[in-house]
């Protein structure tokens, strides 16, 4: 399904929704990387639906141009960074909030990857979500003064050249009770369409995320 969402500022954006076969355990907003709601992000939504979650991915790049879907080549990385740089933070957060509102009533979590990992952190601090998971969010340390107001888990790769371990350690120091997991992998290790994909780390992170989500939603 592809619901149209409306943010508080009136902006409309596309999304991708995957529904579970039976009654949902809970609802999740899946927050994109810098490559749009592409094949990989849709497959992530589908994977969560298969294990019992409603999963909705808002198209955050629609604020710049509708329908942007990129791959993982060097040229696409550059394009993704350029487009992301044009999306105002307030606009991205408004779009995530619209996705959360679409999934209400009921408890809603967020799971974000790359750029989306940072937005998941901010959603945990600002949007009143019920649980948050961030994968390799590059700006989380910069927003480390903002504290999550819900159960939150973070995943990082120790070989990530974009996120130094000093940033991960800073997050741990500021939020010592937060589960922060580090894997023998690089940036983007969860994405099986990227050269950095590390299946062992991806599986372990998936299992930890699944257990964490169920602990919150089934409490």
Q: What is the pairing mode between strands 5-6 and 12-13? A: antiparallel
Query: Alpha helices of 115-187 — where are they, by DSSP H?
Result: 115-126, 165-174
Q: Which of 114, 130, 155, 167 is catalytic?
A: 114
Check if 62 is active-site: no
The catalytic position among 62, 130, 160, 167 is 160
DSSP summary character for residue 152: E
* 187 is known as an active-site residue: yes
How far is Cα 160 from Cα 138, in angstroms, rounded to an integer? 10
Distances (CA, A) of 150 to 22, 119, 128, 147, 190: 26, 14, 8, 9, 23
Is-contact 37 14, C-beta < 8 A?
yes
- The SS3 call for residue 174 is helix
Give 149's contacts (C-beta < 8 A, 6+ positions apart). Answer: 124, 125, 128
160 is catalytic: yes
**DSSP states of 183-200:** ES--TTTT-TTSTT--HH
If you ran DSSP here, which 8-state letter would residue 81 be given? H
- Report d(CA 65, CA 201) in Å as an integer: 34
Q: Which of 40, 130, 187, 191 is catalytic?
A: 187
Catalytic site residues?
Answer: 114, 160, 187
């Amino acid at each position: 399904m592809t619901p149209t969402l409306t943010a508080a500022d009136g902006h409309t954006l596309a999304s991708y929704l995957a529904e579970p076969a039976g009654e949902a355990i809970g609802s999740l907003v899946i927050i994109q990387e810098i490559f749009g709601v592409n094949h990989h992000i849709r497959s992530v939504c589908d994977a969560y639906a298969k294990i019992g979650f409603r999963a909705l991915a808002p198209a955050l790049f629609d604020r710049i141009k509708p329908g942007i879907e990129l791959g993982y080549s060097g040229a696409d990385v550059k394009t993704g960074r350029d487009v992301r740089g044009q999306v105002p933070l307030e606009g991205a957060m408004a779009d995530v909030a619209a996705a959360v509102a679409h999934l209400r009533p009921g408890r809603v979590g967020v799971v974000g990857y790359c750029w989306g990992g940072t937005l998941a952190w901010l959603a945990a601090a600002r949007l009143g979500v019920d649980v948050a998971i961030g994968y390799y969010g590059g700006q989380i340390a910069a927003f480390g003064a903002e504290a999550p107001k819900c159960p939150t888990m973070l995943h990082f790769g120790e070989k990530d050249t974009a996120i130094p371990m000093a940033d991960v350690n800073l997050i741990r120091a500021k939020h010592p009770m937060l589960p922060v997991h580090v894997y023998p992998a690089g940036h983007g290790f969860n994405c099986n369409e990227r050269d950095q994909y590390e299946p062992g780390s991806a599986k372990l992170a998936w299992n930890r995320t699944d257990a964490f989500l169920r602990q919150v939603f089934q409490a």
